[in-house]
Amino acid sequence: MGVKFLYHPDTVLTVSDLETLALDLHSEIPIPGVEGCGFDSGIIRQTLLQAAVDQKSIKAVTDTTRGTYSDDYTLAQLHTVPPAELEAVVNDLLVQQAAMILGLGPRIICLDFVDIHYHGCPHADAGELCHTKPRDGTSQCHRYLAGFVLCRAKPLVVAITPVRGDEPKSDAVERLLDHVAVLPFDITGLLADRGFYDGTSIERLDAVASVALPIVRGGEQMAEKLNTTVSYWTEYVMYEGSERELRFPLAVCVSYQHGNRGKHGLLVRAYVACDLTDRTPKDVEALYRKRSAIETAFRTMREARARTSTTDPVVRLLFVLVSFLLRNLWLIVRWGVLATPRRGGRALPVWFRFEVFREWIDHALDDTLRRKWEAPTNGVGIPATYSQLDAG
C-alpha cells in the first residue's frame, strides 16, 4: 500500500493503514546498527514509533511488549544513527510531504526556534546545549530551527536543523535556507521571531525573500523611532559606522490597547520589513501576526515526541524529527484522505484530531509488538490478618 494509498485511498481508513504509512516513513531513517550485532531494523522502528505516538520512553515500550528487544539493545542501535545523514534524509522526506498536498503556488514560510529544556550534562561538549528562558528549574535546552508553511488547512513543517550553542544563529539559518531552497514552490516571504534579529541573519533571509520580524528594543536610535503616536515607515541603521553596517526598512505600528488584558494607552511595535514597503505598516503587522498559528504546530509536535533521559543529542534529534514527520503525516491524511471536497476548499474532519491519529497507530502497534495485557501476581494476596481486622 504505502504512499499510493494517499493518492488512491480505499473506501475506509483503518488503523492498519496508518501504521503502514507511519512505518514507511520510518523505513527511510538510517540505522546502521552496532557492527557485528545482528538485529531487525523493522522492530527498532516499530519500537521507536510506539514510543513517539504514546509519548513513552523506549524502556516503557520494551517492558510492556513481547515483540521488542530490550531497551539497552534498542538504544544501542539508535546511538549509531549518523546525524548529518539523518538531517538530510528527514529534510528530503519533508520536501516529499510538502509536494504531496501544497501544490506549486507561492508560499510564505514561518521560521522559529524549538527549545526542548534539558536538565542533564552535555554528552560530549558544552557546545551541544543552548540557553533560553528558565523553565522547570533549568535554562539549558537542546534547540532546533524549523520552517513551517503558512497555510490554514495544511501548516506543514518543511525544513528543520539542529542548533548548537557554540555556533552563530546565522549559521543555522543558512542551513535551514539550504533546505528551503529545494522546496517545490516559490518562497514569497519569511516570517521570523525576534531571535533572528541580528545583521547576518537578516541579510541571509533577505537574500531569499521578503522578510518580516519584530525588532529587539534597545539603543537611543531605536527609542527615538518608537517615540511616536502614528504608524509610519522609516529606515533603521544597524551597527552604524562599522564594517557590518546594515540598513533596512522599519515598519513602526501604533495601536490602542482598549483595556486588553487590563492595559490602556498606545502600544508601539516595530518590524524589520525588507521588500515589504509596498504595504502599510499595519499590513506588515497583520501579516506577521499570522505566524502565531505555529504555536499549535509546536504543541502537536510535542505530543508525538518519545521521552528519553539519554544525553546523546543525536538520539534526542531523532525523536524530535520523528515527531515532526508524524505531525505532517496526520495533516496529509486529514486533508488528502478524509477531508470532504467542496467549493472553496475541503472540509476538514473535526473528529480526526492528532490525538486520535496517535491512538490509532498505538492500537495497531499493540498487536504488532504483542503488547502484554497480563502481569504475574504475587500469589499471596492480602494477608488473612487484614481480613480479620476488617471483620472486627
What does the pLDDT look like over 151-200, one tens digit per residue? 888 999 999 999 999 999 999 999 999 999 999 999 999 999 888 999 99
Contacts of 283 (CB under 8 A, 6+ apart): 276
Identify the bridge partners of residue 274 per DSSP, sorted by sequence position. Answer: 211
**How far, CA to CA in Å, does 128 sit from each of 35, 134, 172, 267, 363?**
26, 17, 13, 38, 36
Mean pLDDT of the chain: 91
Domain boundaries, the chain: 4-367
The pLDDT score that the predictor gives to residue 390 is 58
Average pLDDT for residues 142-157, to the nearest whole number? 92
d(CA 276, CA 211): 8
Global pTM?
0.92
Q: Could you write out the DSSP letters of every residue in 217-262?
A: P-SHHHHHHH--SS-EEEEEEETTTSTT-EEEEEEEEEEE-TTGGG
Q: Indicate the SS3 state at residue 5.
A: helix
**pLDDT tens digits, one per residue of 75-130:** 999 999 999 999 999 999 999 999 999 988 899 999 999 999 999 999 999 999 99
Alpha-carbon distance of 236 to 24, in angstroms, equals 50
- Do the strands 138-149 and 232-238 form a parallel or antiparallel pair, or are they unpaired? unpaired
For the segment 28-56, what is each residue's pLDDT rounded down to a tens digit? 999 998 877 788 899 999 999 999 999 99
330-386, pLDDT tens digit by residue? Answer: 999 999 999 999 988 899 999 999 999 999 999 999 999 999 999 899 999 888 888
